[in-house]
Each structure stands twice: as structure tokens, then as C-alpha cells.
Structure 1
Amino acid sequence: MEEIAAQKPDLILGSFVADRSDFDRVAPIATTIGEIGDAQVDALTADLVVMLPNGGTREDLMRLPGFAALPSVGSGGMAVEDYPTVVGFNTPSSASLRYSLDRITPQLEAIGG
């Protein structure tokens, strides 16, 4: 938990939040969503959202009530990515960050103006 807290996240999304005890341990650090469902969509208010839908698709996400109205969707800052891209951000090295940043360049440009 100290490693997560040290990153000072604004929002924690993750399939690792497997049960209530995991949720209770990370929730004091930042807004935490274990699985995205209808009730949690409105928490995704960042300009840039990088997401791995774990077997789902962008179209699946767009069917969630309110998802299409998110700021990141409207501004072009929603990046629905593959596993290697997300892992590149979660376990950073200079090569993995370069790879992952290259993959979301369109979204970065869209929100950067």
C-alpha cells in the first residue's frame, strides 16, 4: 500500500481490487473503482483516461450509461488500450514508457490543444 500511496494517485482503477478488504485498504489513498459499472462511470472525470477493458471493447464501454458523456471521450482523451500499453505505464522503464506514450500520442495531442 505504501508504494501505491507514494504515487499520489487521484484515482485507482484496477482488477487487483478483488474483494472488499482490498478495496478498504486502497480507498483511503484515492477514489477507488474495482470494476467499472454503471454506478462508477461518473468518477472518470480526468481529461486523459487510459483503460484496459479486460476482455471488453471500446464499444462495450460506450454502452455504459454516461460513458459517452465523459470529458475524456468528448475531448478525444479516452485511450482504450491493450495489455502491453497499460503494463508499460504500470511497470515503467524508459523503453516501456516510450512505447506506451507513443500508443496514446493521439489522445495526448487531443487534450493538449
Structure 2
Amino acid sequence: MIRTCLIKIGLMMDIVVRSSLVGLYAKCNAFEKAIQLFSEMPMKDVAYWNIVVSCCYQSGNFKEAPQYFSIMRRFGFELDSVTITTSISSCVRLLDLSRGMEIHEE
């Protein structure tokens, strides 16, 4: 209902509104909807990528957080402390020392 309302009033293209909705979906265990909404966004910034990486971690999708980290890097986004910390934490949960060390080196 919230998404429909946001579409009707024309706020779905606002990056802050859209990122908040992604976070809401993730917190409500609607991770697939969060990722779908993320992938539909034409313009993404570092904060938006961080929301998705954090959503992966918080929803227990530990394998996906480092994957989004890698995709983010391929698109040329600069990493920040949130991106790095969440990605390394996911590697810890997966016991993936080598991937965690790769992220740490970056």
C-alpha cells in the first residue's frame, strides 16, 4: 500500500524515499522485494548501495553482501566504512577468510 501511494504521488523516483522503502522491505523480511526495488532504480549512490549490502547482512543473506560489494566496485563506486564493515562481517559469518582479506586490502 505504501509503495502504491508513493507511486501515485510521484515520490518513487526520489532516492531518499526509495532507499527508505528498500530498508523497510528488508526489515519486514521481504528481501526479494527490496532487491527488486534496488535493481529498478536507475541512479544509485554509495548510500543506496550500502542499504542493500546492509540488508543482505541483516536478513541473513551473508553470501550476497560481498557479491553486491563486488558489483559496486565494478561500477566504480568508492567504498566507505559502512560498505567495508558490513561486507567483512558477512565474510566472518561465512568463515570466508580469503574474501574478507581481499575486502580488507581494498
Report TM bin, short chain: 0.3 to 0.5
TM value normalised by structure 2: 0.32
Q: TM-score, normalised by structure 1?
A: 0.31
More strand by proportion, 1 or 2?
A: 1
